[in-house]
């Protein structure tokens, strides 16, 4: 549909314009396949702002104009996660990974190859997003896994986080877990600007993301280049999920979430190790910092029978890369200044 049609009808169909804008956001962030230029998108947003100014009663909480609205908080409220956000065991060598796979096979009393979902381990901040009937109602940090901080006003400012789920077939209660991170380019631009304005420099993108989410004023968060990548589902009610983790990620993508494009399914632990090598080789070329690969038993039925030890699942492990030396550039600049 051409955007011109929207300018002819009267009274203008504001809800239709809102849905069109949300659709283009879905294409841009979830599909990474935009249909219109950024300039056209901005024109649609400008039009929506004008119409909502004329018809304030038409404004809805999921309108794309409502991402940056709230007044600064005086403090963050505590959120108790309905389902604890787990932690991850680490592997530091191929032998550790092979031992993990052996433990999984032993516990499942099976010598069959185990299929793994393989995901980059984004170096950001783990968050929980709660949706009720498709609307974002709460955003919270992982915290200690049981208690996190309510950062709803701040997560609403992140454009890759849908305010309303796209498509259909999602459960009435859906808690999506993912990582909020700052891409390297955004981090460098932020620090470049901080150098010019004499503001504090961030040491790395993870700290920059954490600092941006800890702002009590959402207008500051709104100006930070943050993205959110979905990697799991927590609390679900009123609906079924697909039987494999990789299909849960596909469903999350269809509902409007950014999922990481490097994700692959390995038929067995040897293919998983090959994935680790392949990503390790292109790590420096990635647009974001990662500190390893997360391998997850792909079958959710097998995940359930494996369960978890204390708080780390028996069915997942993070294979870390060697720590990267902090960029010496920053230290040089500090001494020069
Ligand atoms: C759902 C499970 C528990 C298997 C899980 N847990 C994760 N994490 C737990 C530990 N986390 C944590 N954070 C702070 C302190 C202790 N643990 C940080 C998130 C994952 C993190 C990433 C990522 N970063 O890209 C990912 N692709 N998949 C994850 N999957």
Q: How far apart are CA 76 and CA 96, in angstroms?
A: 39
Predicted local confidence at residue 5, as pLDDT: 52
Instruction: Answer yes or no: is the C-beta of 175 below 6 A from any ligand 1 atom.
Output: no
Predicted local confidence at residue 312, as pLDDT: 83
Instruction: Answer yes or no: is the C-beta of 87 below 6 A from any ligand 1 atom.
Output: yes
Predicted local confidence at residue 310, as pLDDT: 75
Q: How far apart are CA 156 and CA 139, in angstroms?
A: 8
Measured from the Cα of 296, ligand 1's closest atom is 4
- DSSP character at residue 8: H
Instruction: Answer yes or no: is the C-beta of 86 below 6 A from any ligand 1 atom.
Output: yes
Pocket test for ligand 1, best of 231, 241, 286 (most atoms within 8 A of CB): 231
Q: Quickly tell me which residue has 């309303």 as its tokens.
A: 164
121 in catalytic set: yes
Pocket test for ligand 1, best of 126, 288, 309 (most atoms within 8 A of CB): 126
Q: What's the predicted TM-score (pTM) here?
A: 0.90
Spatial CA neighbour of 229 closest among 275, 264, 262: 262
Residue located nearest, by CA, to atom 16 of ligand 1: 87
Q: List average pLDDT for each run of 10 residues in the chain, which is 337 residues long.
A: 49 86 94 95 96 91 89 94 94 97 96 97 98 98 96 97 96 98 98 94 97 96 97 96 98 97 98 98 98 98 91 90 68 39
For residue 241, give every residue at least 6 positions away whose Cβ sits within 8 Å of its Cβ, in sequence order, or none: 171, 233, 248, 251, 300
Residue located nearest, by CA, to atom 21 of ligand 1: 121
- Residue 238 CB-density burial (10 A; 0-12 exposed, 13-18 middle, 19+ buried): exposed
């Amino acid at each position: 549909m051409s955007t011109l049609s929207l300018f002819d009808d009267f009274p203008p169909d504001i809800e239709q314009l809102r849905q069109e804008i949300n659709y283009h956001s879905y294409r841009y962030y979830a599909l990474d396949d935009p249909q219109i230029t950024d300039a056209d998108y901005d024109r649609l947003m400008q039009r929506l702002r004008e119409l909502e100014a004329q018809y304030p009663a038409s404004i809805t909480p999921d309108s794309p104009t409502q991402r940056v609205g709230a007044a600064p908080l005086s403090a963050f409220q505590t959120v108790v996660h309905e389902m604890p956000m787990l932690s991850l065991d680490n592997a530091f060598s191929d032998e550790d990974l092979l031992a993990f796979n052996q433990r999984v096979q032993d516990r499942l009393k099976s010598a069959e190859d185990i299929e793994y979902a393989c995901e980059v381990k984004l170096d950001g901040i783990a968050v929980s997003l709660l949706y009720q009937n498709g609307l974002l109602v709460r955003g919270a940090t992982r915290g200690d896994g049981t208690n996190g901080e309510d950062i709803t006003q701040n997560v609403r400012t992140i454009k890759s986080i849908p305010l309303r789920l796209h498509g259909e077939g999602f459960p009435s209660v859906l808690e999506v877990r993912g990582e909020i991170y700052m891409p390297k380019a955004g981090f460098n631009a932020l620090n470049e600007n901080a150098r010019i304005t004499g503001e504090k420099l961030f040491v790395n993108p993870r700290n920059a993301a954490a600092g941006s989410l800890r702002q009590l004023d959402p207008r500051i968060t709104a100006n930070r280049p943050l993205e959110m990548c979905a990697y799991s589902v927590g609390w679900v009610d009123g609906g079924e999920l697909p039987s494999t983790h990789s299909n849960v990620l596909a469903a999350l993508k269809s509902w409007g979430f950014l999922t990481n494009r490097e994700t692959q399914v390995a038929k067995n632990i040897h293919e998983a190790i090959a994935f680790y090598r392949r990503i390790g080789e292109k790590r420096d070329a990635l647009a974001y910092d990662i500190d390893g690969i997360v391998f997850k038993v792909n079958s959710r039925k097998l995940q359930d029978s494996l369960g978890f030890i204390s708080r780390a699942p028996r069915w997942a492990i993070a294979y870390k890369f060697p720590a990267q030396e902090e960029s010496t550039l920053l230290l040089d600049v500090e001494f020069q200044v």
